[in-house]
Amino acid sequence: MTTIDTFEDFIRIMDENPEWLEAARSRLLTRELLELPQVVAQLAASHQQFVDSANARFDRLEATQERHEITMARIAETQERHEITMARIAETQERMRETQERHESTMARIAETQERMQESQARMQETQERHEITMARITETQARHEITMARVAKTQERMLETQARMQESQERHEITMARITETQARHEITMARVDETQARHEITMARVDETQARVQETQERHEIIIARIDETQARMQESQARMQESQARMQESQARMQESQARMQESQARMQETQERHETTIARIDETQSIMQRDLDFMKGDHMEMRLQGRIHGLLAERLEMRRIQVSRALYPAGDQTGFMRGVEDAFDEDKITSEQYKRLMRTDLIARARRTKSSPWTYVSVEVSNQLDRGDVDRAVDSASALALVYPEAESLPAVYGSEMSDEDRLYAGARGVEVFLIRSQR
């Protein structure tokens, strides 16, 4: 049996029995001290990997910064050209405004001309109505004239009958005179009868004369009526001639107005074509400006995301009092040092998250984890980065935090947004949804 009296005896026995050395080491040293060489080696390897990754990242950052400066110079040049173009557009719009004013003046004169034409048409309508009234009166007069003519015809018939009776009486008188001549001898005897017959004849002649006077008076009145009818017809013909002349003038005026309207429509068509060309040019300029703005916003967002990776530790420590901060994923990851990707992949394979939630996490600009104290659970912070923050960024940060809560149910999830500008209304919306807002002053 071997006896150990001194420490030198213990060392000698260990040298003689190397297999005892490991058992003694495991008894004398703690597990942490036994694993310390391996840990130191791993730490050195990780540190070297981190240094290499940081150097590569700084190299890429410097190259990106140079490209960004070149792009900003091009954007400044493009902005100058855009300002010149906008000045030309403003000048063109001023000319278009002057043209529009001249067009409005022309339209006002045309409207005034149309009003005068409407007044003239109203007067013509009134003249036409008076003419129709006159024609109605003439028709009524002609009807009365026809009645009068019918009466004159009847009077003439009665006069003819009277003349026929007078002719018949004269014939009888001649027969009577012949009989008187033949019966001259009996004249004395029948003188009394002749005297009586002559008296009756005189009475009849008086009646005939009276009838002839009445016929003459009727003819005179008829001639007066005919003269008035002729005068009325002459006035009516004169009125019709004036109306035809007025209609001719109106047709000529309408023709001139139609010609003026045709010229105005042609001018409007040319103006519309010019305006459409200007609108097309403005639309192209707006589209170019929108593309430039999107490119500029993308570069600003890209630059802000790179800046955020260097500032996330300070922001979380200062604003949220967090420690032991680790960047799990960013837009330009240098490695999955926290096993974040493995956890997300496992959650997706186990159907803890949907395909949309998996894609949302992959599109999240930056995800970091930290602890408030040494014993507190991990807190995963999902950050959406944009130069101009809005509600869309807030909603995406909330969706990413909700997906993280499913991947790591034992940890806390915090949504956050990072940018240079955000409206007061959107900030209230972010506060209502529990989203932390990090605003920085933009550098130009």
| Tokens at 15, concatenated | 């040298």
239 or 87, higher pLDDT: 87
pLDDT band at 57 (very low <50, low <70, confident <90, very high): confident
- Residue 104 dihedral angles phi and psi, to the nearest 5°: -65, -40
- Predicted confidence at residue 334, as pLDDT, reads 45
**Band of residue 108 on the pLDDT scale cut at 50, 70, 90:** confident
Percent of the chain past pLDDT 70, that is, above it, reads 82
Length of the chain: 444
pLDDT, tens digit, 9 for 90 and up, residues 93-102: 888 788 778 8
pLDDT class of 331 with cuts at 50, 70, 90: very low
Q: How many Cβ atoms sit within 10 Å of the Cβ of residue 177?
A: 11
Is the pTM of the predicted complex or chain greater than 0.85? Answer: no
pLDDT tens digit string along 235-277?
Answer: 878 877 887 887 788 788 778 878 877 887 887 788 788 778 8
Query: Does residue 24 register a pLDDT over 50?
Result: yes
Residue 437 CB contacts under 8 Å (≥ 6 apart), including other chains: 389, 416, 417, 422, 427, 430, 431
In the predicted structure, residue 431 carries a pLDDT above the cut 60: yes
- Encoded amino acid at 200, one letter: R
Contact of 378 with 405, CB cutoff 8 Å:
no
Q: What pLDDT, on the 0 to 100 scale, is given for residue 384?
A: 92
Decide if pLDDT at 208 tops 70: no
Burial class (CB in 10 A: 0-12, 13-18, 19+), 277: exposed
Mean residue pLDDT of the chain comes to: 79
* Confidence band of 2 (pLDDT split at 50, 70, 90): low
Tens digit of each residue's pLDDT (9 = 90 or more) over 30-50: 766 767 778 788 888 887 887
Q: Is the pLDDT of residue 325 over 90?
A: no
Average the pLDDT over 299-307 and give the result. Answer: 67
Q: What span, in angstroms and rounded, lies between the C-alpha atoms of 269 and 239?
A: 44
Domains and CATH numbers, the chain: 320-444 (3.40.1350)
Note the pLDDT of residue 427.
92
State residue 383 phi and psi, 5-degree precision. Answer: -115, 130
User: ∠384-386-387 over CA atoms, to 5°?
Assistant: 155
SS3 162: helix
Q: DSSP assignment of 330-343, as one string?
A: ESS-S--TT-HHHH
Q: In sequence order, what are the residues at sequence separation of 6 or more whose Cβ sits closer than 8 angstroms to the Cβ of residue 212?
A: none
- Residue range 161-193, pLDDT digits in tens: 766 776 776 677 677 667 756 766 675 765 677
